[in-house]
Amino acid sequence: MKHIEEAIRKSGDLTSIEVVEGVSGGSINEAYYVRTKDREYFAKSNSSAPEDFFHAEKDGLELLGRHGVSVPEPLLILSQGNRESVFLMEWIRSVPLSNEGDRALGSLVASLHQKKENFAGLHQANFIGELDQLNEPSTDWVTFFRDQRLGRMQNLARKKGKLTKERDQRLSKLRQRLDAIIGHQPDFSLLHGDLWGGNWLMTDEGPYLIDPAVYYGDREIDIAFTYLFGGYSKAFYDQYQADFPLEKEFTDRLPIYQLYYLLVHLILFGESYGSAVDRILQKYTF
């Protein structure tokens, strides 16, 4: 509470703080709704986050915003020593979901994916969850995904003891065969990067995206993640396909792109994700 109040004061709001309530939904940060006499805020707190953790999120929100995506306005990051302890942003009031809202989200994501760059990656690293996400620019998508996505998570998982010998060997074999498995060289679309169902909000003004892990890459990886934990609505997928149709071979690549996120979850949350990782590895390796 002390740090949240300090952040609000440093943002220029000197009015009385009337409400501070915990907000559920995330697994990495503590989150709060804060209301002062003058305005409402959303505050994230994480005293153990890596250096520049919240700055990377702020940069991602601002990049999405520059490309016409509705995002919460970043207001202030409060640092304590060399750690960022509070990220203060505007409060976005959500409304109940509907088919109309899901279609609007489909159009928003399709529009996002039509923002292109001539390389995969980004000009800075960022984070997926609390794990650092490498983004060294590359003009070859398979090389980028093999080394900076699957390879990076393989190394982290190995160091943290999350890979059995067979799992490690199969992942190495899959990476060796990745060019044939992916089988295309996509355009490099602007990606949200962490597009599970909890990272968007519906408002009276339309959908907002939150908690990005942005970079440029194959748009199919964003869509693959939407299917991972139950999927989005039919209205979302129908509208996305109407606005920006996917290649028919997308379903062949979907498990490969989901593997990245499953490895992230295996590292962060443990062996409950191991069987899903193993099923994908067994599907593509012998």
Q: 205 with 130: CB under 8 angstroms?
A: no
User: What are the 10-residue block averages of pLDDT along the chain, 286 residues in total?
Assistant: 91 95 80 96 86 93 97 92 81 93 97 98 96 97 98 97 97 97 96 95 96 98 95 95 97 97 97 97 94
Structure tokens given for 130: 């609390």
Domains of the chain: 1-90 (3.30.200.20), 99-284 (3.90.1200.10)
Q: How far apart are CA 245 and CA 242, in angstroms?
A: 6
Alpha helices by DSSP H, listed for 84-218, are 99-113, 141-144, 152-159, 165-176, 178-182
pLDDT in tens, 197-223: 989 999 999 999 999 999 999 999 999
Question: If DSSP codes are grouped into helix, strand and coil, which group holds residue 88?
Answer: strand
Structure tokens given for 51: 């250096």
pLDDT in tens, 75-126: 999 987 666 689 999 999 999 989 999 999 999 999 999 999 999 999 999 9
In the prediction, which pLDDT does 263 show? 98
Q: How far apart are CA 47 and CA 80, in angstroms?
A: 8
* pLDDT over 90, % of the chain: 88
Q: How far apart are CA 8 and CA 164, in angstroms?
A: 47
Assign residue 12 a region: left if phi > 0, alpha if psi is -120 to 50, beta otherwise? left
In the prediction, which pLDDT does 83 show? 65
At 248, phi and psi to the nearest 5?
Answer: -65, -25
Q: How far apart are CA 232 and CA 204, in angstroms?
A: 20
Structure tokens given for 135: 């983004």
In the prediction, which pLDDT does 144 show? 98
Which residues participate in catalysis according to the annotation?
A: 194
Question: If DSSP codes are grouped into helix, strand and coil, which group holds residue 199?
Answer: coil
Q: How far apart are CA 220 and CA 215, in angstroms?
A: 13
In the prediction, which pLDDT does 93 show? 94
Which residue carries 């090389």 as its tokens? 143
